[in-house]
Amino acid sequence: MSRIHLKPVATLREPTELVAHGLASAADLPDLEKVAARYAVAVTPDIAALIDPGDPDDPIARQFIPSAEELVARPGENADPIGDHAHSPVAGIVHRYPDRVLFKLVHVCAVYCRFCFRREMVGPGKATALSPDAYNGALDYIRAHSEIWEVILTGGDPLMLSPRRLGEIMADLAAIDHVRIIRIHTRVPVADPARISAEMVAALGIDAGIPMVSQSVLLRGVNDNVAALEALMRAFVECRIKPYYLHHGDLAPGTAHLRTTLEHGQQLMRALRGRVSGLCQPDYVLDIPGGYGKAPVGPSYLSQASSLPGEGELDPETRYRVVDYCGDVHLYPPKP
């Protein structure tokens, strides 16, 4: 029997609400209650409106509606899969790379992604925001480290803060001479676009627009086929959003059902290379568990050549094999 989809007027936060609005099955309710007891749930009206309740494989639902599969933990999964804690010198700061820091202001989001790598750190029951003392301590750390060129506001979702508070934060950071770039990690523009009000725009100090880039996650059953990735990356560029990263799924607890293999990701990136322009090409990256940072893990198109039939011995220092987008192999420099 198909479920009736009633568009909610407020964010859905309880499994019973998801069932009442046709976004989950009543038969799944006991398991969904167990999931919600551990991991935050929130589905905004704007996201709910995108879900087709008649499609059991709906890709939007797969990203935001909880699943009993989240109760299954796999070896290697970790509550801090990318090692934030190992690089946190003071509360609210992650300083993994020399010239930039993450500034974790809040621990709440408009929606909670089922694949979130910080799922053990965000949502109800967790600290909602930095205390005043912790905030000032984080600012002091940034001021004291002149190598910090970029501050990345994250969390949680920093656009859950009020425009007034965001304006104060932007002013505090703008007063630090060596901070030249402020980046904001957010899903609010798509998850709860009404929050992007005139007051919010003014608080962010926008005078000529904000460059936007996408950080997508490769997810099984969502975008793990070349047609979906092609459509997604083209849509980003058409909306003036530069594809930046395509993340391999992190080893967050209860997310194995959403992860692909690295080999499949590489196959997709190789196929994407021949289908869309360079503007549409994200970097396929893996956050190395333990806090060692991101590494590009896309396919390789270059290898040293030793010999080819009929070519004799080739100097591996000066001759290479290069694979084109059709899969054909060429020598570089070409044979004289």
Give φ, ψ of 211 to 5 degrees.
Answer: -60, 135
Out of 39, 80, 109, 224, pick the active-site residue: 109
Peptide bond into 76 cis (omega under 30): no
Structure tokens at 133: 């003392």
**What DSSP state is assigned to residue 16?**
H
Helix, strand, or coil here: 153? strand
Task: Report the alpha-carbon distance of residue 15 to residue 21 in Å, rounded.
Answer: 10
Q: CA neighbours within 13 Å on the CB side: how many for 99? A: 6
- Choose the catalytic residue: 58, 80, 192, 287: 287
> What pairing do the DSSP bridges indicate for beta strands 100-104 and 150-154?
parallel
Q: Which of 96, 104, 119, 319 is catalytic?
A: 96
- Known catalytic membership, residue 326: no
Residue tagged active-site, from 118, 119, 259, 319: 118
CA nearest 61: which of 71, 70, 51? Answer: 51
Catalytic site includes residue 100: yes
Determine which one of 187, 220, 242, 294 is catalytic: 294
Residues 233, 282 contacting (CB under 8 angstroms): yes
Q: Is 273 designated active site? A: no
| DSSP type of residue 205 | T
Question: Residue 220 catalytic?
Answer: no
Is 335 a residue of the active site? no
Q: Is 275 a catalytic residue?
A: no
Q: Which two tokens stand for residue 48?
A: 């709910």
> Residue 280 catalytic?
no
**What is the C-alpha to C-alpha distance for residues 300 and 279, in angstroms, rounded to an integer?**
19
Structure tokens given for 248: 């391999």
Catalytic residue, candidates 250, 259, 270, 284:
250
Instruction: Select which of 116, 157, 195, 270 is catalytic.
Output: 116
Catalytic site residue from 39, 62, 113, 141: 113
Catalytic residue among 39, 62, 100, 157: 100
Question: Catalytic amino acids?
Answer: 96-97, 100, 109, 113, 116, 118, 250, 287, 294
